[in-house]
Amino acid sequence: MTTHVEQPDLAEVSLETALQALADDTRLRIVRELASAPAPCACGSFGLEVSKATRSHHFKTLREAGITNTEILGTKRLVSLRREEFDARFPGLLDAVLAPAAVS
């Protein structure tokens, strides 16, 4: 059986917190990868060029901003987007962030 890591009630996440969490290149990369992944990913499966301490910090930031959910499976943590909940709280925000860059 798997448990999940504690996560905030979306109602208590402010827009500022959400934007703050998204306003970082590394975390943006994680969110994009999660959005295109068919299933939850282990933290280590991202090709991030940072130490595991830093990586853990970024995943924590995303989780505490209500953007991701973390399931504990053995020694791994399976991370996924809280798509529906987040969309309900901040309609359109993830879509806008995930939209392909408009090149002019």
Partner DNA sequence: GCATATGTTCGACGAAAATCGAACTACCGC
Partner DNA sequence: GCGGTAGTTCGATTTTCGTCGAACATATGC
Q: Residues interacting with a second copy, by CB under 8 A? A: 10-11, 15-16, 19-20, 22-25, 28, 88-93, 95-97, 99, 101-104
d(CA 48, CA 79): 15
Tell me how far, at minimum, the Cβ of 103 lies from a second copy, in Å.
7
Per CB under 7 A, which region of 7-15, 31-39, 70-78, 90-98 contacts DNA?
70-78
- Residues 78 and 41 sit within 8 Å (Cβ to Cβ): yes
Closest to DNA by CB, 17 vs 85, is 17
Indicate whether 47 belongs to the interface with DNA (CB under 7 A). Answer: no
Q: Cα separation of 11 and 104, whole Å?
A: 37
Contacts (CB under 7 A) with DNA, residues 6-45: 20, 24, 26-27, 42-45
| Whole-angstrom distance, CA of residue 58 vs CA of residue 60 | 5
**Where on the chain is the footprint of DNA (CB under 7 A)?**
5, 20, 24, 26-27, 42-45, 50-61, 70, 74-77
